[in-house]
């Protein structure tokens, strides 16, 4: 099998079309189609159903996909090991990260990575949706939510305490809650997919159901509402780091409860090794986060 044919198959599955695979690999649509046909002829099976706009895996294609990815990864790793160190990382790095975190913390590390690695390409998807990184062909996902049980490999790259906060204007007009019971009488701003706020009370988790007139589907919208004095919210440290530093938001500690902590996680597909371009990206991101991570709870 030709590794370039395999690359077309994997890219077409990740992008959902042969045209997308062609653009990603720098081929014409006709060349991509011929490479996929050559791979199928070599294997003696049909790997994909094709239409003019999309592709879908056949049962045989689904079985072959894991092996195809492994062969591509092994090929890229071998090239990296044998290439001179001065060449740096190469190939396409596909990353998915939450929208706000991606804009504030992930984007700043990308220009330097690209400058130092001329043969590296990066595709960053910024979305608050939890993406199936194996099915979508991502190399790494950055997540701030609690991890679900899975067969994926997870690496903690920074602490991320949850923060109860409000603007100085809201505090001036409404005062500060001192206890969890006090919080119930305040206007609370919540995320649409977070029905309750978890607190640690005497080593146990207690869920508080926020009551308020504003619910938002995005972290950025919720943070804006909080800065504008609309109420109290619970976000993570990295969501409000800049606002806490500037004084636009203030932390509201409670005497009888602590917001439950999270971490920033790098989630990778199950594999025997991590490619060089993934390692370089994670090292750069971890270095950036370590410079401004909270030494203690805010």
Selected residue with higher pLDDT from 272 and 22: 22
Q: How much is the average pLDDT of 161-170?
A: 95
Structure tokens at 188: 């609370």
pLDDT band at residue 87 using 50, 70 and 90 as cut-offs: low
pLDDT band at residue 233 using 50, 70 and 90 as cut-offs: very high
| CA 57/CA 67 separation, integer angstroms | 14
Structure tokens at 238: 């990295």
Quote helix, strand, coil % in the chain, to nearest 5.
45, 25, 30
Q: How much is the average pLDDT of 57-81?
A: 84
pLDDT band at residue 1 using 50, 70 and 90 as cut-offs: confident
- A 10 A CB-CB count for 82 gives 7
pLDDT score of 82: 64
- Asked if residue 265 lies in contact with residue 158, where contact means CB atoms within 8 angstroms, the answer is no
> Which span out of 38-52, 88-102, 133-147 was modeled with the highest average pLDDT?
38-52
Q: 170: number of CA atoms within 13 Å, CB side? A: 24
b/e burial code for range 94-106 (CB count within 10 A of at least 16 → b): bbbbbebbbeebb
pLDDT band at residue 227 using 50, 70 and 90 as cut-offs: very high
Tens of pLDDT along 170-189?
999 999 999 999 999 999 99
Alpha-helix residue ranges (DSSP H) falling in 26-158: 29-43, 59-82, 99-101, 110-116, 133-136
Tens of pLDDT along 32-51?
999 999 999 999 999 999 88
Q: For a pLDDT cut of 90, what percent of the chain falls above it?
A: 52
pLDDT score of 84: 53
Q: Are strands 232-236 and 162-166 parallel, antiparallel or unpaired?
A: antiparallel
pLDDT band at residue 155 using 50, 70 and 90 as cut-offs: confident
> What's the chain's average pLDDT?
88
pLDDT score of 248: 97
């Amino acid at each position: 099998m030709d590794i370039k044919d395999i690359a077309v198959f994997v890219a077409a599955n990740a992008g959902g079309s042969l045209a997308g695979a062609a653009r990603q690999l720098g081929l014409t649509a006709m060349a991509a189609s011929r490479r996929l046909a050559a791979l199928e002829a070599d294997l003696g099976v049909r790997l994909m159903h094709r239409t003019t706009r999309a592709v879908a895996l056949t049962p045989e294609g689904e079985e072959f996909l894991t092996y195809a990815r492994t062969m591509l990864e092994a090929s890229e790793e071998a090239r990296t090991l044998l290439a001179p160190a001065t060449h740096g990382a190469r190939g396409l790095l596909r990353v998915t990260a939450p929208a706000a975190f991606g804009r504030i913390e992930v984007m700043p590390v990308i220009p330097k990575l690209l400058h130092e690695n001329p043969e590296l390409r990066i595709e960053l998807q910024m979305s608050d949706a939890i993406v199936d990184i194996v099915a979508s062909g991502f190399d790494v996902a950055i997540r701030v939510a609690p991890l679900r049980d899975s067969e994926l490999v997870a690496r903690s790259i920074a602490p991320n305490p949850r923060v109860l906060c409000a603007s100085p204007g809201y505090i001036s007009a409404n005062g500060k809650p001192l206890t969890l019971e006090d919080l119930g009488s305040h206007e609370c701003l919540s995320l649409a997919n977070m029905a309750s706020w978890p607190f640690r009370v005497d080593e146990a988790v207690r869920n508080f159901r926020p009551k308020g007139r504003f619910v938002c589907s995005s972290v950025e919208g919720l943070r804006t509402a909080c800065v504008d004095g609309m109420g109290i919210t619970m976000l993570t440290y990295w969501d409000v780091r800049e606002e806490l530093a500037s004084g636009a938001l203030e932390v509201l500690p409670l005497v009888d409860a602590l917001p439950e902590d999270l971490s920033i996680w790098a989630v990778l597909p199950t594999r025997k090794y991590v490619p060089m371009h993934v390692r370089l990206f994670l090292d750069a991101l971890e270095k950036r986060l370590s410079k401004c991570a909270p030494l203690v709870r805010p």
